[in-house]
Structure 1
């Protein structure tokens, strides 16, 4: 719609409030401004929605990092349990070695006692 009104011969409808054409033009401009305002609000709502999605993605990333840290902690605990198991097996092997040495010492003691009994048998009796 042109700025100059054909009905009341005003130069600009924005300054004229006398005729219905100028008032309709001003209402049309207000309606366009209202639509622009609604479009701006929709754009802001869209930006807020995108920010919310980014926040959810950030929370998912943090949850993923926490899950990875949990898995690393479980792997560390499993490694420690494996090392404890190996230490336990080494301790059992050491105890078995000590038992074997004690058994050999016992056999040597029995052999020594048998040797002493043999020597006693060789001694002449009076």
Structure 2
């Protein structure tokens, strides 16, 4: 008799019991999904940090290449200047063929600047260039 009463009560409340179980499953799923999203965000932040560190460590090399280029250009222009002239004659300037920076150096510098996430660092590099 008690077994049939229990079954009757379960039958009567089965919709509520099923709804509660579905709600519990939804909450568990939401918690697991939130944890997975947080983990993905942490991985992405770590990747960005590693990329930023790599870009910053390569930056002195690129800035040194730019500095060497500027010094060489200044020396070549200095050779054109004659102390007897007030300015470099136009015909010498027209024939002057400065060395250009290598495309590899320029693309590496561009890649480095794209990978740095801090705006103030990029602004400082832009001012130097």
* TM-score category of the 2 structures, normalised to the smaller one: 0.3 to 0.5
Which entry has the higher C-alpha Rg, 1 or 2? 1
Normalising by structure 1, we get a TM-score of 0.44
Normalising by structure 2, we get a TM-score of 0.43
Which of 1 and 2 has higher RCO (CA within 8 Å, sep 6+)?
Answer: 2
